[in-house]
Amino acid sequence: MFNKTEKEEKAYLKNLLKKVDTAIRFINERIQSQSNEVKYLNTHLQEFKTDMDHLEKNAMREAITNTAALGDHSVDKKKRLVRLLNVPYFGRIDFTEKGKTNPVSVYVGVHNFRDDEKNKNLVYDWRAPISSMFYDFELGNAFYETLDSRKEGTIELKRQYRIRKGEMEYMLNSDITIQDDVLQKELNQATSGKMKNIVATIQREQNAIIRNEEARHLIIQGVAGSGKTSIALHRIAFMLYRFKETISSNDILIISPNKVFASYISNVLPELGEETVEETSLEEIADELFEYQIKFQSFFDQVSELLEKTDEKLIERIRFKSTEELLKRMDEYLLYLENEGFKPEDIMVGRKPVPAWFIKESFQKHHRKPILNRFNEVVRDIVNNVFTHYRYEIMGKERTQLHTTIRKMFPSANLRMLYKGFYAWLERPDLLKVRKGSTFEYSDVYPLLYLKMKLEGLKPFLSVKHLVIDEMQDYSAVQYKVLSTLFPCKKTILGDINQSVNPFSSSGLETIEAVFPDATSMTMLKSYRSTYEITQFTKRIRQNLNIEAIERHGEKPAVFAFKKETDELSHIKFLTGLFLKTDYNSLGIICKTQPQADALYNGLKDDFELNLLNAASVAFGSGIVITTAHLAKGLEFDNVIVPYANAKNYFTEPDRQMLYVACTRAMHKLSLTYSGAKSAFLEDNAVNPENN
């Protein structure tokens, strides 16, 4: 067998790294040569441009551009080679193809590395077809598919490595489900300030999602800690590899919940050797489409308002504006405007009569255009008709006045007024509440955009070839309907209905599938983030959850009870001090509301170095972080403290969701504190220790 022992493997690694080092030296020389060539060509162009004709100058500029592009390509290749010096590979399979006698040793890494002298791949990119067997099969029969065929055979050996800084820390032979031992070792590691790539521990179910090429729209419902976002990012990396001729990182857009989360995930694609992709939010999309002319409340502010007080009227408004029913009624309103809203009259233009029937026919003739875009067409028809029949040309002020006259035949050309008119037409003006400063509520934003789309038209984002929507449960049916029109491209949509921060406008699989009937849906039930004990604890909070806890054991979560809030604060300080004595990197102190987080920050800042996250935050770091459950979604911490877990603070269904989200952020250790009466959502967890 090739490289049978650990000693042989270490020798192979050492030899491989020498080859990588040689390749880096060679590419450094090439980069220097290309840089010198660009400098020479630029100097030559400047010195002799007066002697060159137009064609010679263009040829010289093209040569400079091409040489610079080659240099950029060389720099990118060098970056990949430098990464290989740290971790050249993490796995190996020995595969004997059917009909052949000798196995091929396939070393799997983040990047491909080829020995050009021997014309042989020494490391295969994890996304290569042959590498898929590393994730999908145990020892025995296996296969992989190329673009034009299926290769069948047998896996004789599967081996795992942990290599850091070019040194092999351990090597494991695997004859059971892929990398269980390695997975456990990786999950037991402390967090870093950024999400890490998981190429060494991708599980079979995750690999199927990453490599799915057939689905036009892929919807992933994954429980807390199942790795949804990480899988989506690895799926992007796979598509950039698989379809590199037709798609680049510039063609992909991620809709993420906030800037903190975007910062947290920003490291994954560069680690995988790909450029970062553009990230945005629903609010930024709306701002752009409204041309920054309409003010509206943020989703963060809406959630904060709901958590701080129960306003049944607000809840009713949010619920109505999140459903298909709203779209149905809005379409009826648009039909009403189409048939009843436009009221043509006989008019005179330059003493020439234009009958109402002609104006009406013109308006209806252009029914394929949005209503507010038809007035220009009607004016154009009138101008042409008057010239044809009377040889009278309508120009200047007269034409401007004609525009005004035609527009007045419609209730309004103002989007805000027409939106207000919708609720008057519904006979429910109470469903529209515009806040101070003419600020719309967040729940109005996408209904307003839907109306704008129908009345004025909106240009779709055709430059986006693949859209990733994270935290899918927090977007409503109305928002999905608008997104489906704005982004006609392929999509990866992921989230967890159990982690909705606003259940009054949340969407489950059925709602999203109704908007995208050609979508493929996949479910991820296994949680990898938290220990078995933490996962069992969080299941009792949410109840009736179908979630599979990984067998990684740790401390049981602790619930600490106190008579006074001052005692509770003292214990939070004690727990924070304990964290600083451990090897853990991150502690999340997760509150329900921002005012609670702000107050706790003020109570602790004199004793500890803290990071406070709020709606204005744009980055996530390690250390001690104080935040809300809303902003903590998608993040993870080694250690989590959930303060104020009392009956007064956590008692509604949205509160239950928040408590669940907060607790599921913990990887290794979870503590909850409260003073007064304990939240009813913790009653099923009464077995945990309580200190008075």
Residue from 196, 189, 187 nearest 269 by CA: 196
The amino acid at residue 525 is L
More confident site: 232 or 49: 232
Q: Are 634 and 264 in contact (CB under 8 A)?
A: yes
| Number of other residues whose CB lies within 10 A of the CB of residue 478 | 27
pLDDT attached to residue 251: 96
Three-class secondary structure of residue 642 per DSSP: strand
More confident site: 155 or 69: 155
Phi and psi at residue 539, to the nearest 5°: -60, -35
Q: For residue 590, is pLDDT > 90? A: yes
Q: For residue 533, is pLDDT > 60? A: yes
Q: For residue 597, is pLDDT > 90? A: yes
Residues with Cβ < 8 Å from 687, sequence gap 6 or more? Answer: none
pLDDT attached to residue 191: 66
Q: How far is C-alpha 163 from the geometric centre of its chain's CA atoms?
A: 30
DSSP string over 531-575 = -HHHHHHHHHHH-S---EE-S---PPPEEEEESSHHHHHHHHHHH
pLDDT tens digits, 197-237: 888 888 888 999 999 999 999 999 999 999 999 999 999 99
Distance CA 466, CA 419 (A): 32
Give the pTM.
Answer: 0.87
pLDDT tens digits, 50-85: 777 777 667 767 776 776 666 566 677 788 888 888
The residue whose two tokens read 């220097």 is 32
Radius of gyration of the chain (CA): 31
pLDDT attached to residue 71: 59
Tallying the residues shown for the chain, one arrives at: 692
pLDDT tens digits, 329-357: 999 999 999 889 899 999 988 888 999 99
pLDDT attached to residue 182: 63
Residue 688 confidence class, pLDDT cut points 50, 70, 90: very low
pLDDT attached to residue 35: 73
List the beta strands (DSSP E) in 116-232: 120-125, 140-145, 150-164, 167-173, 217-222
Residue from 462, 472, 456 nearest 513 by CA: 472
Q: For residue 687, is pLDDT > 60? A: no
pLDDT attached to residue 5: 86
pLDDT attached to residue 183: 67
Q: What is the mean pLDDT of residues 583-609?
A: 95
pLDDT attached to residue 322: 93
Q: What is the mean pLDDT of residues 243-255?
A: 94
pLDDT attached to residue 691: 53
Residue from 356, 372, 469, 486 nearest 419 by CA: 372
How much of the chain exceeds pLDDT 70, in percent?
93
pLDDT attached to residue 179: 46
Lowest average pLDDT, out of 89-93, 269-273, 456-460, 663-667, goes to: 269-273
Lowest average pLDDT, out of 608-612, 655-659, 682-686, goes to: 682-686
Q: What is the mean pLDDT of residues 469-473?
A: 93
- Six token digits for residue 447: 């209904």
Q: Are 434 and 463 in contact (CB under 8 A)?
A: no
pLDDT attached to residue 186: 67
Q: For residue 515, is pLDDT > 50? A: yes
Q: For residue 178, is pLDDT > 50? A: no
- Six token digits for residue 490: 């392929």
Q: For residue 482, is pLDDT > 90? A: yes
Q: For residue 132, is pLDDT > 70? A: yes
pLDDT tens digits, 360-402: 999 999 989 999 999 999 999 998 988 888 888 888 888 999 9
What crossing angle do the helices spanning 445-455 and 282-289 adopt, rounded to 10°?
Answer: 40
- Six token digits for residue 604: 């602790």
First-to-last CA distance in the chain? 63
